[in-house]
């Protein structure tokens, strides 16, 4: 029986085709393909034993060991997991690392039960190469950067543009000491894949938010980073009160809602407070001991007021954090980079910057 294949094309990602990743969980955790679910042929320990056999005794011995380890009820459980997923997603496609033995075995076992699905030619590796190639291509497209002080809603502006690329969403991190989300930040590989997925179909001008190269656990690929440093900029300027309102919604309310959805209201609030406290402590060296202690006292008071229903109390510690730390730091970097970056195309309030970004894009 001939087992069918499908090319490692970005169209699979663009069409949101469900994917079955039959690699071991440890491989999947390091980086998967967008839209993939991990239903392994071998779990980590089985893969480890087979790997040792391959190195010491060769391929045939490794295959024989794999057949012994994944047999009987274990084999039937693996097949049942694939069948169950395919019953809900009949268009799903199978892949392993290189589109070789593991995905072929999964295909064959499914075919023996009357279920026929293709595997990706070249597997994870081939499609990852295409995704990385898409990122390299994007580095040669025209780019615009949206800059501004913390709290200027740069991400919200990006979301209003059809050609806006949200790097923070790719990293699952808001890009500052306070930017961690309830879910774990993505790995470097998953960040790159998410970025490439957002770039598919974006053949013209691109708009990005001004970011540090590192966002959470991930680094912006170098070619894109260099292109962003050369790109023209639009800078948002908004008053402190407006920015504080934005920060409270983004970093307090949305964060609490995210934790509450995952852990329940009480535990969610505790985790939110613990995260914000830890984030403040991570700035200890830069803030200095006296300023840190003052902000910690204000933060603790805000937590108590928040529990009593006064969420606006957080502005008491957010305001000095902005005016005494983030704003001076941003202006220092802005002044330092004045001679090395292109002149700003436009400076204005949020609405006028949105209009300017749209005009540049079209």
Query: Where in the sequence numbering do the catalytic residues fall?
Result: 96
CA angle 237, 243, 245 (to 5 degrees): 150
Neighbouring C-alpha atoms within 13 Å toward the C-beta of 39: 25
CA distance 330 to 13: 37
CA angle 267, 270, 274 (to 5 degrees): 140
Can you name the residues that pair with 214 across neighbouring β-strands? 219
CA distance 311 to 316: 11
Which residues fall within 8 angstroms of residue 243, CB to CB, at 6 or more apart? 149, 150, 151, 152, 322
- Residue 125 phi, psi (nearest 5): -65, -45
CA dihedral 225, 130, 38, 82 (to 10 degrees): 160
DSSP 168-201: HHHHTB-SSTT-B-SSPPPPHHHHHHHHHHHHTT
CA distance 192 to 214: 13
CA distance 350 to 88: 44
The alpha helices in 89-121, defined as continuous H runs, are 101-112
Whether residue 86 contacts residue 117, with contact meaning beta carbons closer than 8 Å, is answered with yes
Can you name the residues that pair with 147 across neighbouring β-strands? 235
Whether residue 104 contacts residue 3, with contact meaning beta carbons closer than 8 Å, is answered with yes
Neighbouring C-alpha atoms within 13 Å toward the C-beta of 306: 23
Whether residue 236 contacts residue 203, with contact meaning beta carbons closer than 8 Å, is answered with no
């Amino acid at each position: 029986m001939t087992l069918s294949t499908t090319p490692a094309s970005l169209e699979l990602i663009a069409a949101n085709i469900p994917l079955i990743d039959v690699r071991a969980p440890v491989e999947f955790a390091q980086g998967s393909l967008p839209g993939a679910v991990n239903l392994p042929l071998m779990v980590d320990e089985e893969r480890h034993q087979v790997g040792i056999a391959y190195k010491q005794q060769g391929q045939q011995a490794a295959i024989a060991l794999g057949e012994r380890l994944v047999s009987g009820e274990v084999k039937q459980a693996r097949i049942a997991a694939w069948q169950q997923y395919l019953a809900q997603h009949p268009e799903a496609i199978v892949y392993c690392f290189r589109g070789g033995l593991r995905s072929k075995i999964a295909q064959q076992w499914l075919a023996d039960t009357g279920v026929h699905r293709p595997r990706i030619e070249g597997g994870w590796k081939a499609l990852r190469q295409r995704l990385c190639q898409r990122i390299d291509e994007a580095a040669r497209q025209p780019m615009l950067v949206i800059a501004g002080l913390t709290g200027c809603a740069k991400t919200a502006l990006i979301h209003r543009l059809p050609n806006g690329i949200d790097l923070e969403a790719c990293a699952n991190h808001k890009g500052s000491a306070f930017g961690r989300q309830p879910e774990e930040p993505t790995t470097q590989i998953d960040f790159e894949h998410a970025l490439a997925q957002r770039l598919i179909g974006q053949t013209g001008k691109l708009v990005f938010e001004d970011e540090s190269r590192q966002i959470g656990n991930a680094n912006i690929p170098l070619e894109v980073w260099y292109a962003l440093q050369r790109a023209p900029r639009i800078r948002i300027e908004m008053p402190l009160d407006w920015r504080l309102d934005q920060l409270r919604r983004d970093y307090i309310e949305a964060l609490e809602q995210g934790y509450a959805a995952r852990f329940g209201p009480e535990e969610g609030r505790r985790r939110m407070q613990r995260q914000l406290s830890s984030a403040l402590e991570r700035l200890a060296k830069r803030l200095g001991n006296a300023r840190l202690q003052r902000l910690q006292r204000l933060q603790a008071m805000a937590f108590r007021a928040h529990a009593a229903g006064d969420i606006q109390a957080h502005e008491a510690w957010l305001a000095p954090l902005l005016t005494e730390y983030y704003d001076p730091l941003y202006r220092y970097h802005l002044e330092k980079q004045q001679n090395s970056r292109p002149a700003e195309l436009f400076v204005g309030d949020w609405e006028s910057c949105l209009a300017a970004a749209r005009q540049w894009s079209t």
